[in-house]
Structures are given as C-alpha cells and as structure tokens.
Structure 1
Amino acid sequence: MQDVGLLHDRLQKIHHSGRLLLGILNDILDFSKIEAGKLAIHPQPFLLQTLFDQLLDLLHQLAAQKGLALHLDLAPDLAQAYRGDLSRLRQVLTNLLGNAIKFTDQGEVHLAVHLARCVKNQAWLTFAVRDTGLGMTPEQQERLFQAFTQADTSISRQYGGTGLGLAISQRLVQAMGGEAIQVQSALGEGACFYFTLPLTQCSAEEEQALLQSQEPGPEQLPRLCGHILLVEDNLINQEVACHQLQQLGLDVTLAENGAEALKALHEAEFDLVLMDIQMPVMDGYQATQAIRAQGRTLPIIALTAAAMIEDRQQALDAGMDGHLSKPLAIEELQPLLARWLPCSESMPSQGISPVALPEEAAQTALPDPVYVDHQAGLRQLQGDFALYHRLLSRFLVQLEQDTADLPQNLAQLATPLDFEQAQQRLHALKGVAGNLALKHLAEQAGVLDQELRARQAPSAQAIQAFHASCEKTRAQLASWLAQSDTQVAELPVVQPTLQQALVQLEQAITHNEFIDLAPLQALARQLSGQSLAEWEAVCDALDHFEFEQAAVHFALLRQFLAASQHAPPRR
C-alpha cells in the first residue's frame, strides 16, 4: 500500500497543477471576453442558501488547512430566492473569499450579505468579505484592480497568482449591473472587500420550485468518504445514526460519552466527530472544549434533541462547527457532512438504495401515524424494515422500564437535582422517539423537557398528557410489532454498505479506473480483518496496475465473503 500512497501523492500534485493551469487559462479567456465586450450575463432563479453551501463546499477545507474560521452569514430579512447570474456571482465571491484565505495566516474570513435597499422590483444586496489577514497600504489598494498586477512584486512569488482575479471580478460585478467593488484596509489589520448588486426577488412559485428541487430523495444522495467518531450514549440512537452514516459510505466508531471520545481520539485518526450533548460522565460541551484545548481542529458536529437558537449558539461557543437536531434526517445529514468530507468521486456513485419491503409486510395493518408514523420511520432508515422492527421492539421494552415511575416523579420534584435528572430522562426520550418517528410521544416529552429546563414544575395537565401518550404509543407498538413478527423473520439479511462499496470497487477495476487511496482504506476498515490474504492480493495487483489480476483476486474475495457477515461498528 506504500506504493499506492506514493502514486496517490504524485497524482494529486499533477491534478492540483492541472487545476491551477486551467484556472489561469479560464481567467485569461474571461478577461479577453470582457475586453472584447463578448461576456454574456445569464440571469436565472437561485437560492441564496444554495450559493452559500456551494461556497462552503469549495473553500471550507482550504480555510481549515490554515486553521482559519470561515463564516458565511445571511441577514434575516433576505428572501430565499433571487434571479441573477448565479455562476458569475459565485465566481466573484469565490475569488474574493479565496484571496482572503490566501492572505490570512490566522483568525477568520467572514462573508456577510444584507439588504441595502429596494428599488421598484429590484433588491440591492451588499456582499462583504472581511478577513484578519495582511492588510494593505493605500498605495497597494490603488493597484488592486489593474490586470496582471499584484499589491506588490513579492505577492506573486510568495502566494502565487496572475493578478487577474480582482480585475475580472470588478468587471463581472459591473457587467451584472452592480456597484464597483470597494476595499477598506490598513496594513496589518486585515481587509474588507464589498460590492452591491441588483437582484430580482423570485415569485412564490419560482421559490417553491427551487426549494422542491433542492430536496433529493435518499437514492440521489452522493456517498461520502471518511472515518466518523459517533459519540452517543443511547443504544437506539447509536443504531439509527450508524445505519445512516454507513448508508452514506462512512466508517463509524462508537463512543458512549465524552471521556470515551477523548480516548478514541488518542487511539485513532478521525475525519469528523458527531457529538451528542447530554451524556453521562462527560457531556458534549465538556468533551469538545477538551478536544479543542488539545489543539485538535477536526470538525465536531453537535447532535441534540434541542433545536432552539440558543442551543445552536451554545454548541458553536463550545467550539463545535455545526449543529444537527434529532430526529436525524439523512437528507440533512449528508449535505452538512459534505462540507467537510469528500464525496466518492473516484468510484461510480450508486447513491443510497432503500431496501424493498416484502409484500406481506407492506400489507400488515398499519398503526395510527399520529403515534407511530411507520412510513417516516422507514424513511429515516432508508427502508430497512427489519432494522426498524428491531429498534421499535427494543424501544417498547425501554419505554416500559423508563416511564413506569416517571409521571409520579414529575409530580414530586423538589430539588435542583430532581429537575436535572427528570429533564435528562425526558430529553433522551424525546430524541429516541423522534428518531423512530413516534411523533406524539416526542412532542409530549418535548413539552416537559422545555418546562424542566426552565426549572418550572410541570402542570398536572402536561404530566397527564405525557402519560396518556406513553400508554397509547405502547399499545400501538405492541399491536403492530406482534402482527409483523412473521414478516420480519422472513426478510433476508442485507449488507448494503459493504456490498455497495464492493460493487463500486469491482466497477472501477473492470473499467481500469484510477482508485483513490481513501476509499480503499475505508473498505479495508469495513472488512474488519476478514479475508486478509485475498484483500492484500487485490491491493498488490492494484499497486502494480495489474487490473486483470486484481479482478481475479477480487472474485475470490467476493466468494470468501459470500457466506460471512460484516462486523458491526467498532467500539
């Protein structure tokens, strides 16, 4: 595998150099079009959030490599959708943000967008890019927008570049009808580049069409590469999150509290941490602060059943990079993780294919969706009926154990410790119920959770409503699970994540494609030491670009795995 690593490094350098050369050629072509008056502007409806997501995807890793914080903020009074040339606007902002990251060694880069004014049917939006970088003298600022000119002659030697980016950006903004890019800066105090651009607000129909187009089904989501540390103390939540992460192509290691997470980070390398907040021993905030105190900069995403703005802010203040609310939806999970993790570009993406339900299971008498929304629950688990059935069975036992004395205890809260313990139990119950699409129970637990967080004694009506929801949910679960036991027993055991990865590797070998090192390493971790000799034979053949031999050994590997089952996530 050392030869693969060396080859991978060289190919990455070739790829990077090619991209740089392509960027220079594109800049020259754009500048030539502008000078000849041939540059065309193509307005189209677009979502501001989509633009921000694209910018994050492009630039977050570049900022992270320098240890910089990258913040993108939309003012709350902005519309969701506007009409303008998305491609050219993205080109301008990419250039300004890229320059800000390039010339900033520590601190942050910040893009803010706000509504400057409205004129008839046009909204004038101001885009401002601020950094804490080198800054410039007034003399340097005067030369900024001249073609093939840098702020000083040492810039191109130290940082690279042709001096075309800002000149092109200035002309693009003017071609789109905007006000010229301005700069405010002082040497050693960073810089702020800003411009104001007229955009037409989209109609309600256009906005709705855009929003619907941004909601792909699970089968359309691209797979990701990476090793995730999942820090979660609830066993059911662990299974739900692990299933979703593995469906996305990710390798998962589990930790049940913050202390275990710190230990795991010392023992292995991870690309990202998904961190629950409320856990025993050490909670998510404490663990994150400890990780940051060690100088680790890997992304940490908060997982919590709380969705209030202050909860999100508290997570960011603790050093986390993002926030996901339970129940986890894979359509929200994938785009967020894709900001930090690469997609499986080196192998054909199969997307996420839901497991088809057997006809008998589909015809089983369905529970009341108010209490058990089984369709939503199956969507959470990409159609894995057997897994959903198993998790509901486990939850039914847990519900009977955890709530037997809870209503009585809620009516007798006296000390701060009583409130804290009750709140933690209800917060956990709310999260698990949400992940399993037990909507009514999740809502009632959430009502009590909020009251207890505010140290308010729950009302008798709220306690009674919660108790009634527990009883109704319990009855619905028991009835449906009993009816579907036979169908679940007949379902075949599937290994979607491992099988999809094997299919992708087989296709890449068949087509003699270059295979990136990261997917090979991820697949090796998925195999968990199984069929080591066969796997090493495949890798050795790939090391020497002997694709026919690799195909032979791969067929042997598939035969060896045919009768075996993949190991569960590591702990």
Structure 2
Amino acid sequence: MTWNTSNNSKASELENKPNPDSVAKAQSIPSLSGDVLLVEDNKVNQHLFTFNIEKTGAKVDLAENGQEGLQKALSNHYDLILMDIEMPLMDGKEVMSSLVQLGINTPVYALTANNMPSDIAEYSVIGFRGTLSKPVELTILYQILGQHLTNCNDKVHNTAQRDKILVQDPKIRAMFYTDLAKQHSEITEYIQELNYSELIKVIHVINGLAGNFGYDELTDLAAESLRFLRNKQYQQAIQHCSSLNQKVAEVLNEYND
C-alpha cells in the first residue's frame, strides 16, 4: 500500500532516510534488584520500558490504566512507580493526587511528552518525584532506577549492542508501524473534521514514541503541531498537522518498500 505524500510541506524537505540506530548509543546498564510499577496504556511504550527495565534485573509490574495503577499501588509494595500522565479511566495526575491523600510515599515519576517548565512544575506540586520525558533517554531512565533500586555488586553491562537489537526488534517495530498507519488515517479524518481535541490525543502519542525508533523528524513536527493546537492557533495548527501527516506517509511508504 502506498501512502499519500502529495502535500508540498516542510516535511518533504526533511531527510527521507531515518536512522533507527541513532538511539542505540552506548549506555551502561546497572545491575539492580527491586520492583517497579509501570502505569502506561500504550502497548509500544509498555514493551520499550519493560524491556529496558528488566535488562537491569529489576522486576516490572504493569498497569494499563490509571485506575488499575492506583489499585496496584495500594495493594503491593514497589520501590518505584513510573506513571504515564494521559491515560483512560484516571489520568496520572489524578492517581498521584490520590496516592498523596492516602499517604503512599513510594517515589513516583511522571512519564510524558509534555515537558515544558510549567508542566514539570505542575507535576512537582502534585507530588511527582520527577519527570521522565518521552521519547525516553536510557541514561536518565537508568539514573532514576539506580537512585531507587538496590545496586547489585556495582556490575554494569555495555548496552550498545542490546539497544541496537531493541530498536530493530521486528515485533516492537511492527507494532509501532501498525499504530502509525492507524494514526495517519485518524489525523487525515480529524483534519477534515477540524476535530482539534482528537488531533491533540493522536499527535501526543506520536510525539512520545517516534523518537524511540529514530524518527526525530516526526517528534519535532508533532511537538510543533501540539504547540499550535494547545495555543488554539488553529490555522497554523492545521498546516503543521498536515506537514506531520505528510512525513508519516513517507515513513510508512519507506517501511512498506
């Protein structure tokens, strides 16, 4: 299937060939033990975080929405909680507020692509210990894990080859491209309908995921689109959303070739 790339936008000026290995920079994997609760509704992010956390030796318990995350946090002991902000049933801010009210003092970090200073300040006031921006940087992830989990004999492993395998893992990449094809159709539909609230939801997902697969162009275009959408500058927003969708089509065409 060929995706429509006829829109003459700034996206067409961007480099066509992505570099999926650009996220495979050498890191040091700490050897850790402990229990991490991951509260995340996106399947691809679930795989990415679980894969990288379990490489350290730590255990991951998964909650797929905020309500389930709250129930697990109240029922079990965890050394660390990683919490997505935008989720169904209860969002991350609501869950964090409930945990504070109930006296749960487990360190909780916000997982989000909304990393403006005002966003980070808001999360801190609510009770989050810190913020881990999407797309995730492994160095920062491992720093956070190292702060709150038990270090086992100070052993470290070189991750350059492992990260390369992660980025190229066919199952995870297939999930990403399947979701991206769906998002391309949704963006097309919502642009036609001028449905700005749904555009924000779809593009927010792309903004948080694309960089993990080496598509920094998509991340940048998504961030710009979200900025105009949230500022209600809708004429510019539609132009940027169209540019983003043009680039998404190019990525899908390259993947299918």
- The TM-score range, normalised by the shorter chain, is 0.7 to 0.9
Asked if 2 retains the 8 angstrom alpha-carbon contact of 1:299 and 1:321, the reply is yes
Which aligned segments of 4 or more residues in structure 1 are displaced greater than 6 angstroms?
none
The one-letter code sitting in structure 1 at the alignment partner of 2:32 is: L
1:52-108 Cα shifts (integer Å, max 9, x gaps): xxxxxxxxxxxxxxxxxxxxxxxxxxxxxxxxxxxxxxxxxxxxxxxxxxxxxxxxx
Q: Which residue of 1 aligns with 2:69?
A: 261
C-alpha separation in 1, matches of 2:248 and 2:255: 10
Q: Which residue of 1 aligns with 2:144?
A: 336
Q: Which stretch of structure 1 is more off in the superposition, 279-288 or 450-459?
A: 450-459
Instruction: Please state how far the C-alpha of 1:452 moved relative to its aligned partner.
Output: 1.7
The one-letter code sitting in structure 1 at the alignment partner of 2:119 is: D
The one-letter code sitting in structure 1 at the alignment partner of 2:176 is: F
Q: Which residue of 2 aligns with 1:452?
A: 229
Asked if 2 retains the 8 angstrom alpha-carbon contact of 1:248 and 1:352, the reply is no
Equivalent residue runs for 1:144-223 within 5 Å: 217-218=26-27, 220-223=28-31
Q: Which residue of 2 aligns with 1:434?
A: 211
Instruction: Please state how far the C-alpha of 1:312 moved relative to its aligned partner.
Output: 0.9
Instruction: State the secondary structure of the residue aligned to 2:240.
Output: helix
The sequence identity of aligned pairs, in percent, is: 27
Asked if 1 retains the 8 angstrom alpha-carbon contact of 2:184 and 2:249, the reply is no
Asked if 1 retains the 8 angstrom alpha-carbon contact of 2:26 and 2:160, the reply is no
Asked if 2 retains the 8 angstrom alpha-carbon contact of 1:441 and 1:473, the reply is no
- Are residues 1:289 and 2:70 paired? no
RMSD over equivalenced CA pairs, Å: 2.1
C-alpha separation in 2, matches of 1:429 and 1:386: 16
Instruction: State the secondary structure of the residue aligned to 1:298.
Output: coil
Unpaired runs of 5+ residues, structure 2, are 1-24
Equivalent residue runs for 1:505-516 within 5 Å: none
- Are residues 1:314 and 2:122 paired? yes
Q: Which residue of 1 aligns with 2:242?
A: 464
Equivalent residue runs for 1:34-433 within 5 Å: 217-218=26-27, 220-345=28-153, 349-355=155-161, 382-384=163-165, 388-413=169-194, 418-433=195-210
- What TM-score do you get using the length of structure 2 for normalisation? 0.83
Instruction: Please state how far the C-alpha of 1:253 moved relative to its aligned partner.
Output: 0.6
Unpaired runs of 5+ residues, structure 1, are 1-215, 356-380, 480-571
Asked if 2 retains the 8 angstrom alpha-carbon contact of 1:232 and 1:255, the reply is yes
- Rg larger in structure: 1
Asked if 2 retains the 8 angstrom alpha-carbon contact of 1:231 and 1:274, the reply is yes
- What TM-score do you get using the length of structure 1 for normalisation? 0.39
Structure number with higher relative contact order (C-alpha < 8 Å, ≥ 6 residues apart):
2
C-alpha separation in 2, matches of 1:282 and 1:233: 11
Instruction: Please state how far the C-alpha of 1:350 moved relative to its aligned partner.
Output: 4.4
Q: Which residue of 2 aligns with 1:182?
A: none
| Higher helix residue share | 2
1:206-247 Cα shifts (integer Å, max 9, x gaps): xxxxxxxxxx932x3422221000011100011011111111
Provide closer, same or farther for how the CA distance between residues 385 and 330 of structure 1 changes in structure 2, counting only shifts above 3 A. Answer: closer
Instruction: Please state how far the C-alpha of 1:353 moved relative to its aligned partner.
Output: 4.3
